[in-house]
Amino acid sequence: MLPSERLDYSPIVQRKRLALPGGARLAVWVIVNVEEWDINETMPRTVLTPPAGGSPMPDIPNWAWHEYGNRVGFWRMLEVFDDFRIPAVLAINGSAIARYGAIVEAAKARGWEFIGHGFSQKNMQKVADERDDIRKTAAAIRAATGANPRGWLGPGLTETWETPDLLAEEGYDYVCDWVLDDQPVVLKTRGKPIVNLPYTQECNDVAMMLIQHHKASEYRDRAIDQFDQLYADAAGSARVMALVVHPYIMGAPHRLRYFREALAHARAHPDVVFWTGAQILDWYLGQR
């Protein structure tokens, strides 16, 4: 289905007012992406290219660089969530659940929400059987947490023409791949509709650090600018702000402080709620 068939164009200034409880202006949600990189595939991202180029396999250096996030970086990030008492959303590859048991347990102990993020870290257009991938991911999360995931984020936000239809049919309530608004929107599917929550490519450490190659402090500076503008925009109608981190990027020792400082800025505002995706979804559905 084409995007224009899934939703109509809608200018944000012409919509019914959304109101958060207690007069809050902004709902902030923080998504931690935990992935498993298959050593038998091309690495999804690289920090170092081989001498004279090419892409030799296996790619041990870039595999190891990512693995650092799950061995060390994640645990450093966890302290920030604990200190600020902010629940995160764990977007996790289905295969990573069995591999990184300690991470799954830490997230469960804190009541984080688990959302599907592909069974492996592979473009959804390259997955052999998309429905099976979506289903297997839900099953892995259900086995670990006792509940079906309500949300889905495609690896690299990738979708096929069919992805929202399959997600709705497989029991998912929301998707994050459509970064087209500051408020949730409803997407039509061939069955029941699915909600899209405002995820971000802007305040996202993959785009900022690995593609745009900004200094680590730019993560904090951009997040603060983003927050201040959305906070002002929200005077008339509530807004949602997403912050996205990966343990192998913002969990590096030299970057962590900037993640903490970004959250500290948001945390200093009393009229802001820190919610999971499911909380934002349920609130939004209650507003419609």
Partner 1 sequence: MIPRDRAPYSAIVDRPPLRLPGQARLVVWTIVNLEFWDIARPMARQVLPAPTGQVLLPDVPNWSWHEYGMRVGVWRFFDLFARLGIRPTLSINARVCEDYPRVARQARDAGWEFMGHAYEQMPIHRVEDQKAMIERSLSVIEQFTGTRPVGWLGPGLTQTEETPELLAAAGIKYIGDWVYDDEPTEIHTDNGPLVTLPYTVELNDIPMMLVQHHESEYFTRRCLDTFDRLYAEGASRAKVMAIAIHPYISGQPHRIGYLEAVYDRIARYDGVLHWNGVELLDWYLKTRGEG
Residue among 172, 175, 161 nearest 31 (CA): 175
Q: Helix (H, G, I), strand (E, B), or coil: what is residue 221?
A: helix
**How many amino acids of this chain bind partner 1 (CB under 8 A)?**
40
| Shortest separation between residue 76's beta carbon and partner 1, angstroms | 8
- If one asks whether residue 54 binds partner 1 (CB under 8 A), the answer comes out as yes
CA distance 71 to 204: 21
Cis before residue 58, ω within 30 degrees of 0?
A: yes
Which of 2, 213, 270, 286 is in the footprint of partner 1 by CB under 8 A? Answer: 213
Q: Which stretch binds partner 1 (CB under 8 A): 9-17, 48-56, 126-134, 148-156?
A: 48-56
Which of 52, 109, 128, 268 is in the footprint of partner 1 by CB under 8 A? Answer: 52
CA-derived radius of gyration, the chain: 18
CA distance 274 to 103: 21
Which of 256, 266, 278, 280 is in the footprint of partner 1 by CB under 8 A? Answer: 256
- If one asks whether residue 109 binds partner 1 (CB under 8 A), the answer comes out as no
- If one asks whether residue 266 binds partner 1 (CB under 8 A), the answer comes out as no
- If one asks whether residue 102 binds partner 1 (CB under 8 A), the answer comes out as yes
Please name the residue ranges forming H helices in 203-246.
205, 217-233
Q: Helix (H, G, I), strand (E, B), or coil: what is residue 235?
A: coil
Q: Between helices 253-267 and 74-84, what is the axis angle to 10°?
A: 20
- If one asks whether residue 34 binds partner 1 (CB under 8 A), the answer comes out as no
- If one asks whether residue 216 binds partner 1 (CB under 8 A), the answer comes out as yes
Q: Which stretch binds partner 1 (CB under 8 A): 25-33, 161-169, 194-202, 214-222?
A: 214-222
CA distance 213 to 216: 9
Task: Give me the residues that bind partner 1 (CB under 8 A), please.
Answer: 39-40, 47-54, 56-58, 60-61, 63-65, 67-68, 70-72, 74-76, 99-100, 102-103, 213, 215-217, 252-257
